[in-house]
Structure 1
């Protein structure tokens, strides 16, 4: 008979896995709705769609900001 060893429970999502709403991204970037949706439409800012809701992973926002800072420094 084979023994069953339970797997470790999934850890709670860290802040790096947090999904942000468009209004949260608007607040963090201090931009309006249209510019944020333009960033999403042009895929400069990665997002996922859950039903009709658009969510932006917090790491995608961090990557976007870092890339823009690198562009400005170059």
Structure 2
């Protein structure tokens, strides 16, 4: 991982997607949204969030 990777918290992802905490964890659990654990903290790379959005947009367009 490069030094310039932005890591988001679950509340930040909640705010950006306007979804609930459980919805974010459901995306993580179903491996639709990549994440990592640092100690007890869950972090989501910003590029993983962008990938999720692009994938969903592609699915909707098909």
Q: Determine which structure has the larger helix proportion and give its number.
A: 2
Fold conserved between structures, TM > 0.5: yes
What TM-score do the two structures reach when normalised by structure 1?
A: 0.78
Q: What are the within-5 Å matches in structure 2 for residues 31-70 of structure 1? A: 31-70=19-58
Equivalent-residue separation in structure 2 for 1:41 and 1:49 (angstroms): 13
Unaligned runs of 5+ in 2: none
Unpaired stretches in structure 1, ≥5 consecutive residues: 1-11
Greater gyration radius: 1
How many residue pairs get aligned? The number is 60
Runs of 4 or more consecutive aligned structure 1 residues displaced over 6 Å after TM superposition: none
Taking structure 2 as the reference length, the TM-score comes to 0.93
Larger RCO, structures 1/2 (Cα 8 Å, 6+ apart): 2
The Cα RMSD (Å) is 0.9
